[in-house]
Amino acid sequence: MQEHIVIIGNGISGVTAARHIRKLSDKKITIVSAETDYFFSRTALMYIYMGHMKFEHTQPYENWFWKKNRIDLKKGYVNTIDVQNKTLHFSAGDSLSFDKLIIATGSKPNKFGWPGQDLEGVMGMYHKQDLENLEKYAPNKQACKRAVIVGGGLIGIELAEMLNSRNIPVTFLVREDSFWNGVLPDGESSMINRHIKNHHIDLRLGNNLKEIVSDENGKVKSIIIEETGEEIPCDVVGLTAGVSPNIDFIKNSGIETGRGVKVNRFLETNIPDIYAIGDCAEQHEAIGQRRSIEAVWYTGRMMGETLAQTICGNRIEYKPGHWFNSAKFLDIEYQTYGWVHGKKSKPENEVHFHWKHEDDTKCITIAYHKDTNEFLGINTFGIRMRHDIFDTWLNEKRDIDYVTNNLSMANFDPEFYSHYEADILSAYNKQLQIV
Amino acid sequence: MSNKINHSLSIAKPDATDISTKQKLALTTGIIGLFILVLALFNTNFPNKGLFLTLALGLISIGTIIYSRDAYLTKLEGIKNDGVWFKSISSRGVWGWIVGIILTTFYIVLYFFPKYLGLGSNGAENTGLISLFDPLSNLLSRRAASQWFVYGTLYTVAILAFGYKFILKYRHNRYQQLRTISVMFFQLGFAFLIPEFMYVMNNDLPYYDLKSMWPLNYYIFDEWSVKGFLSNGNIGLGLILFGIITIFVISPILTYKFGKRWYCSWVCGCGGLAETAGDSFRQLSSKKMSAWKLERWLIHTVLVFSVIMTTAMIYTYLGYDKNNFWLTRGLFTALVIGFLTLVFAGVLFFKKQELGKDAKYGAIGFFVVIAALLIMHFTGTIDNVFYIKSNSLRSAYGLYIGSIFSGVIGTGFYPILGSRSWCRFGCPMAAILGFQQRLFSKFRITTNGGQCISCGNCSNSCEMGIDVRAYAQKGENIVRSSCVGCGICSAVCPRGVLKLENDNMEGRINPTEILLGNDVDLMDLVNKK
Ligand SMILES: Cc1cc2nc3c(=O)[nH]c(=O)nc-3n(C[C@H](O)[C@H](O)[C@H](O)COP(=O)(O)OP(=O)(O)OC[C@H]3O[C@@H](n4cnc5c(N)ncnc54)[C@H](O)[C@@H]3O)c2cc1C
Ligand code: SF4
Ligand code: SF4
Q: Is A176 in the pocket of ligand 1 (CB under 6 A)?
A: no
Closest CA to A185 of A334, A374, A375: A334
Looking at ligand 3, which atom is closest to the CA of residue B459? 4
CA dist A101 and A106 (Å) reads: 15
pLDDT of residue B372: 81
CA dist A273 and A255 (Å) reads: 11
> How close, in Å, is residue B84 to chain A by CA atoms?
6
A401 touches chain B (CB under 8 A): no
Q: Is B491 in the pocket of ligand 2 (CB under 6 A)?
A: no
Query: Which residues of chain A does B457 touch, with a Cβ-Cβ cutoff of 8 Å?
Result: 44, 47, 52-53
Cβ contact (<8 Å) for B517 and A309?
no
Query: Which residues of chain A does B456 touch, with a Cβ-Cβ cutoff of 8 Å?
Result: 41, 44, 47, 53, 57-60
A122-241: in CATH 3.30.390.50 = no
Averaged pLDDT, A255-270: 97
Asked whether A371 and A409 are in contact (CB, 8 A), the reply is: no
Q: If residue A220 lies in a helix (H) or strand (E), which one and from where to where?
A: strand A220-225
pLDDT of residue B11: 41
Ligand having the closest approach to the CA of B497: 3
CA dist B86 and A49 (Å) reads: 10
Cβ contact (<8 Å) for B449 and A387?
yes
Structural domains present in chain B: 16-75+113-201 (no CATH), 439-527 (3.30.70)
In DSSP notation, A173-202 reads EESSSSTTTTTS-HHHHHHHHHHHHHTT-E
Q: Which residues fall within 8 angstroms of residue B48, CB to CB, at 6 or more apart?
A: none
Asked whether B451 and B316 are in contact (CB, 8 A), the reply is: no
pLDDT of residue B498: 98
List the single residue in B with minimal CA-CA distance to A329.
Answer: B494
- Identify the residue among A20, A38, A57 best suited for mutation to test binding to B, counting B beta carbons within 10 A and taking the highest: A57
Looking at ligand 2, which atom is closest to the CA of residue B485? 3
Q: Is A156 in the pocket of ligand 1 (CB under 6 A)?
A: no
> How close, in Å, is residue A114 to chain B by CA atoms?
31
Establish, for the pair of chains A and B, how many residue pairs have beta carbons separated by less than 8 Å: 187
| Domains of chain A, residue spans | 4-108+244-311, 122-241, 324-434
Which 3 state secondary structure label does DSSP give B249?
helix
A324-434 has the same fold as A122-241:
no
Closest CA to B191 of B162, B161, B160: B160
H-only helix segments in B73-123: 94-112
List the single residue in A with minimal CA-CA distance to B515.
Answer: A302
Q: Is B462 in the pocket of ligand 3 (CB under 6 A)?
A: no
Looking at ligand 1, which atom is closest to the CA of residue A327? 8
A302 touches chain B (CB under 8 A): yes
Q: Is B497 in the pocket of ligand 3 (CB under 6 A)?
A: yes
CA dist B240 and B228 (Å) reads: 10
Q: What separation in angstroms does the CA of B254 have from each of A113, B413, B481, B504? A: 64, 31, 15, 15
Query: What ipTM does this complex have?
Result: 0.96
Asked whether A274 and A101 are in contact (CB, 8 A), the reply is: yes
Q: Is A13 in the pocket of ligand 1 (CB under 6 A)?
A: yes
Averaged pLDDT, A78-99: 97
pLDDT of residue A398: 97
List the single residue in B with minimal CA-CA distance to A53.
Answer: B85
User: Cis (ω within 30 of 0) for the bond into A245?
Assistant: no
A321 touches chain B (CB under 8 A): yes
Cβ contact (<8 Å) for A414 and B500?
yes
Domain A324-434 CATH superfamily: FAD/NAD-linked reductase, C-terminal dimerisation domain (3.30.390.30)
User: Closest residue (by CA) to atom 6 of ligand 2?
Assistant: B462
Ligand having the closest approach to the CA of B275: 2
CA dist B437 and B351 (Å) reads: 12
Tens digit of pLDDT at every position of chain B (529 positions): 333 333 333 344 444 457 889 999 999 999 999 999 999 998 888 889 999 999 999 999 999 999 999 999 999 999 999 999 999 999 999 999 999 999 999 988 998 888 899 888 877 889 899 999 999 999 998 889 999 899 999 999 999 999 999 999 999 999 999 999 999 999 999 889 988 888 887 766 677 777 777 777 777 777 777 777 777 777 777 777 888 888 889 999 999 999 999 999 999 999 999 999 999 999 999 999 999 999 988 888 888 887 887 787 777 777 666 666 677 788 888 888 888 888 888 888 877 777 667 777 777 888 888 888 788 777 766 666 655 443 466 666 666 666 677 777 778 889 999 999 889 998 888 988 998 998 899 999 999 999 999 999 999 999 999 999 999 999 999 999 999 999 999 999 999 999 999 998 888 888 888 888 888 888 888 876 5
Which 3 state secondary structure label does DSSP give A239?
strand
In DSSP notation, B291-320 reads HHHHHHHHHHHHHHHHHHHHHHHHHHTS-S
CA dist A46 and A163 (Å) reads: 9
pLDDT of residue B97: 95
CA dist A374 and A369 (Å) reads: 5
* Alpha carbon A280 to its chain's center: 12
CA dist B362 and B349 (Å) reads: 13
CA dist B22 and B442 (Å) reads: 46
CA dist A93 and A309 (Å) reads: 33
Cβ contact (<8 Å) for B453 and A43?
yes
Ligand having the closest approach to the CA of B261: 2
List the single residue in A with minimal CA-CA distance to B470.
Answer: A60
| CA A334–ligand 3 middle distance (angstroms) | 14
Query: Which residues of chain B does A51 touch, with a Cβ-Cβ cutoff of 8 Å?
Result: 13, 16-17, 81-87
Q: Is A184 exposed, middle or buried (0-12, 13-18, 19+ CB in 10 A)?
A: buried
User: Closest residue (by CA) to atom 3 of ligand 3?
Assistant: B493
Q: Is B299 in the pocket of ligand 2 (CB under 6 A)?
A: no
Any idea which of A28-32, A49-53, B311-315 has the lowest mean pLDDT? B311-315
Cβ contact (<8 Å) for B496 and A305?
no
Ramachandran quadrant class, A322 (left: phi over 0; alpha: psi -120 to 50; beta: rest)? beta
A217 touches chain B (CB under 8 A): no
Amino acid letter at B130?
Answer: I
Give the count of alpha carbons within 13 A of A150, CB side only: 27
Q: Which residues of A122-154 are buried (b: 16+ CB within 10 A; e: fewer)?
A: bbbbbbeebbebbeebbbbbeebebbbbbbbbb
| CA A434–ligand 1 middle distance (angstroms) | 47
CA dist B311 and B247 (Å) reads: 15
Asked whether B362 and B355 are in contact (CB, 8 A), the reply is: yes
CA dist A97 and A85 (Å) reads: 8
Res. A50: pLDDT tops 70 = yes
Fold of the domain built from segment(s) A4-108+244-311? FAD/NAD(P)-binding domain (3.50.50)
Amino acid letter at A395?
Answer: N
Amino acid letter at B20?
Answer: S
What's the mean pLDDT when you consider all of chain A? 96
The predicted-structure confidence for A411-427, as pLDDT tens digits, reads as follows 999 999 999 999 999 99
A315 touches chain B (CB under 8 A): no
Averaged pLDDT, A104-118: 96
Cβ contact (<8 Å) for B449 and A166?
no
Asked whether A83 and A274 are in contact (CB, 8 A), the reply is: yes
